[in-house]
Amino acid sequence: MARIGVLALQGAFREHIRVLRRLGAKASEVRLPQHLAGLDGLILPGGESTTVSKLAADYQLFDPLRELAAGGLPLWGTCAGLILLACDAGDDLPLIGALDVRVKRNAFGSQVDSFEADLAVSVLTEPERSFRAVFIRAPLISYVGPDVKVLANLEDTNGIVAVQQGHLMGTAFHPELTDDDRFHRYFLSLAEG
């Protein structure tokens, strides 16, 4: 049984933990560097990226997170977590900088511009069934490095919204806010690898 941490500084960490536990994983809240010990994987959830980044710096989490990413621990960033995991967010926001992507924060507008979209995602179980993604003040991936695999695009804009680089994964949307647990199952397969 995989032991998955969820960064619990702000945002949708409880929803991720609920899904993980339903799938049989040992899920725990991560707030301090010592909470990172013994994990098989870590989820960086959505929330407000500026707030999460400031709190991660205050709790001295950036260096340990960078070390875990460099050491091969599976990490998955959703929405704001994707921003933190990225190498470039177009501003001076402190980042982990492990995922070779550039993201545009709040690419689709403000909270009132939130939306849902059906995505084709070939790496998920039942790939013929679309994944209904929830976008809330979501980022958009504007560049992917040569080792980054695009997992999903928005059909109407062809904008990149899900990627994987080896043990690192990023989604611009919130899988934890749906009843579809296929992205969590996929991440668990990486952690149990």
The residues carrying an active-site annotation are 79, 174, 176
Structure tokens that stand for 19 in this block: 């899904």
Task: Compute the distance between CA of residue 121 and CA of residue 130 in angstroms, rounded to an integer.
Answer: 7
Compute the C-alpha angle 85/87/89, nearest 5°. Answer: 90
3 state DSSP class of 59: coil
Task: Compute the distance between CA of residue 74 and CA of residue 98 in angstroms, rounded to an integer.
Answer: 11
In 60-90, which positions are buried (b, 16+ CB within 10 angstroms) versus exposed (e)?
A: ebbebbeebbeeebbbbbbbbbbbbbbebbe
Amino acid code (one letter) for 81? G
- What are the backbone dihedrals phi and psi of residue 34, each rounded to the nearest 5 degrees, phi first? -65, -20
Task: Compute the distance between CA of residue 84 and CA of residue 34 in angstroms, rounded to an integer.
Answer: 20
Distance from the Cα of residue 36 to its chain's centroid:
17
Local structure of residue 168 (DSSP, 8 states): E
